[in-house]
């Protein structure tokens, strides 16, 4: 399971109603419908058609960046979205495959369906704020283990199938330690 940080363009009203949204917008607005792009070769051909004058090295980097994001987001991945007006971040789970729509102004809209987790992360208490740095790309995968663990800790316990047993494990170790100390006396 991957964890992604995805920047969204939202009004304060959109932020307040974020849990009613069933899709998140992927940052591929300058690209046409991507539903037929199924391989790195297809991605390369599309980019070559869209950017014919681009040098081969630049085109290769563009294709690599695009393909790693586009093909990387899978069902059951987590997506973290910062809501700056509310000063919180929220987490969603990808619940379906990519789809494309044409916006009311004729713009390309690339969407991924999601299911929200109700818990909000107060940014003032979250110590890994660097993942929300505005200089980061609009979509990036969280790779640092410490940040991944911190984000997973905000999920409900039923998401982590072993979380409900942590207290039992702690109790078992405490009782074992008490028994060992009693034997030493």
Q: Which two tokens mark 94?
A: 């990808």
The torsion angle over the Cα atoms of residues 116, 119, 11 and 33, rounded to 10 degrees, is -20
State pTM to two decimals.
Answer: 0.76
Q: Which two tokens mark 150?
A: 């911190």
Same domain for 165 and 140: no
pLDDT at position 3, please?
Answer: 92
Same domain for 144 and 55: yes
Same domain for 54 and 12: yes
Same domain for 115 and 47: yes
Q: What is the pLDDT of residues 114-164, one digit of tens each?
A: 999 988 888 888 888 889 888 998 999 999 999 988 888 888 765 555 555
Q: What is the pLDDT of residues 39-72, one digit of tens each?
A: 999 999 999 999 999 999 999 999 998 998 898 8
Same domain for 141 and 122: yes
Closest CA to 24 of 125, 101, 119: 101
Cα–Cα distance, 103 to 45 (Å, whole number):
25
Range of the domain at 19: 3-154
Q: How many domains does the chain have?
A: 2
Measured between alpha carbons, how far is residue 5 from residues 69, 80, 124, 140, 184 in Å? Answer: 11, 5, 18, 5, 52
Same domain for 97 and 51: yes
Same domain for 170 and 137: no
Instruction: Give mean pLDDT, residues 153-176.
Output: 70
Same domain for 166 and 149: no
């Amino acid at each position: 399971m991957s964890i992604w940080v995805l920047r969204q363009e939202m009004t304060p009203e959109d932020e307040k109603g974020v849990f009613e949204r069933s899709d998140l917008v992927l940052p591929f607005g300058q690209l046409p419908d991507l539903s037929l792009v199924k391989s790195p070769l297809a991605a390369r051909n599309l980019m070559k058609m869209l950017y014919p004058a681009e040098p081969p090295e630049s085109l290769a980097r563009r294709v690599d960046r695009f393909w790693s994001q586009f093909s990387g987001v899978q069902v059951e991945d987590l997506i973290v979205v910062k809501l700056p007006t509310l000063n919180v971040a929220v987490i969603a789970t990808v619940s379906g495959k990519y789809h494309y729509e044409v916006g009311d102004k004729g713009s390309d809209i690339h969407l991924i369906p999601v299911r929200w987790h109700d818990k909000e992360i107060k940014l003032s208490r979250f110590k890994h704020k660097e993942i929300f740095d505005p200089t980061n790309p609009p979509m990036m995968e969280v790779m640092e283990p410490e940040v991944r663990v911190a984000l997973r800790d905000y999920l409900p316990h039923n998401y982590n199938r072993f979380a409900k047993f942590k207290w039992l494990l702690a109790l078992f170790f405490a009782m074992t330690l008490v028994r060992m100390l009693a034997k030493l006396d």
